[in-house]
Structure 1
Amino acid sequence: MVDVSDFILRVLFSGRCGLVVGLDREIKGKPLGAGAHVLVAIGSAALMTVTLNFALSGMAEDDAISIDPTRLIQGIVGGIGFLGAGAIMSPSDDGRLKGHCQKKLA
């Protein structure tokens, strides 16, 4: 089991890592800056730690309950993928979608 102080340390560490990545993106002028990265990092770490608590607890030994932490990892990765797609496909000022693969027409 993960105790409260360990939980807080894990979440704060992940928040700092998200802040570093987000500040780097803000300095470079890219979408999804520090705020979004901190929220995603903190949320992911908190959900994963809570799931690990359930998986390591006595509830996981009950045959009637199936706890699989890898399902949560899959969901988190999928959610981060949607955030990345939203950053790439964000609308520009002229109403067109902007992204890295957009070709300019003459």
Structure 2
Amino acid sequence: MTPLDLTPTIVLKLLLAAVLGGLVGLERELRGKPAGLRTNMFICVGSALFTILSTELARVGGADPTRVASQLIPGIGFIGAGSIIRARGSVMGLTTAATIFVMASIGMAVGGGLYGTGIFMALLILGALSVLGWLERRLRLKTEIRVYRLSGPTAEGILNPLSEMARARNLGLHNLTCRRADELYEVEFELDVAPQAHSELLRELNNLKLRCEIVHLPYGEREERSQLF
């Protein structure tokens, strides 16, 4: 048997990396994030395998054991950068990019035989994503840009109540446009609001007896449409 053959230790490392990557990936998948179950699992397993290969090849050929593993970090950085999106003045995907980077480090830890460290970090990341995400929603710390469109028979009938509502809620209307579309006027505007405030805002907009449409929602969020005449 050669040193590069599949051994129980290597199998254990790869399986553990798959489980840890799958746990974090499942949390991301359930939240509708672009890097979900398979992505995080593949990144964690791939990082573990590269670390194993780096160690084994160094043992056989006498090469630098950090050579292969060190090239992994720029590659992971490239993948993480691809998950960051800038749209309508808002930067999205930073948490996804950070998760990808950390999952690679967990895979490298497992591939290097640091099982306890890898398990602890995976549990820490799961806790951070779940608990901190809950706190952000509870305290309304996280806001995202959404684009709304209101339609009505007159422009004044839209702009006047909209301005009053914005002043009452201390909301800043951005990129507001008004145009005539067939028999109706359409007013489109952007708001930077928290998810809970978004739901409350929809109910208040519907009370204006106008047609309300959600033109743009953050990536991964289920599109909502509400129409009331």
The two structures have a TM-score, normalised by structure 1, of: 0.70
Write the letter of the residue equivalent to 2:85: M
Q: How many residues align?
A: 94
Counterpart CA distance in 2 for 1:33 and 1:7 is 25
- Structure 1: stretches of 5+ with no match in the other structure: 61-66
Is 1:88–1:98's contact at 8 Å kept on the other side of the alignment?
no
Contact 1:89-1:97 within 8 A present in 2 as well: no
Answer 1 or 2: which has greater strand percent.
2
Question: Is the 1:23–1:34 Cα contact (8 Å) retained in structure 2?
Answer: yes
Partner of 1:53: 56
2:22 to 12, 15, 19: 19
Does the Cα contact within 8 Å between 1:25 and 1:32 map onto a contact in 2?
A: yes
Q: Distance in 1 between matches of 2:90 and 2:23?
A: 25
Distance 1:97 1:83 in 2: 22
Runs (4+) of structure 1 moved beyond 4 Å? none
Aligned-pair CA distance for 1:97: 9.6
Q: TM-score, normalised by structure 2?
A: 0.36
User: Where in structure 2 are there 5+ consecutive unaligned residues?
Assistant: 95-143, 146-173, 176-229
Which of 75, 78, 81 is the aligned partner of 1:82?
Answer: 78
The structural deviation recorded for 1:74 is 2.2
Distance in 2 (alpha carbons) for counterparts of 1:8 and 1:14: 10
| RMSD, aligned CA | 2.8
Which has more radius of gyration?
2
Q: Distance in 1 between matches of 2:44 and 2:65?
A: 17
1:9 lines up with 2:1 in the alignment: no
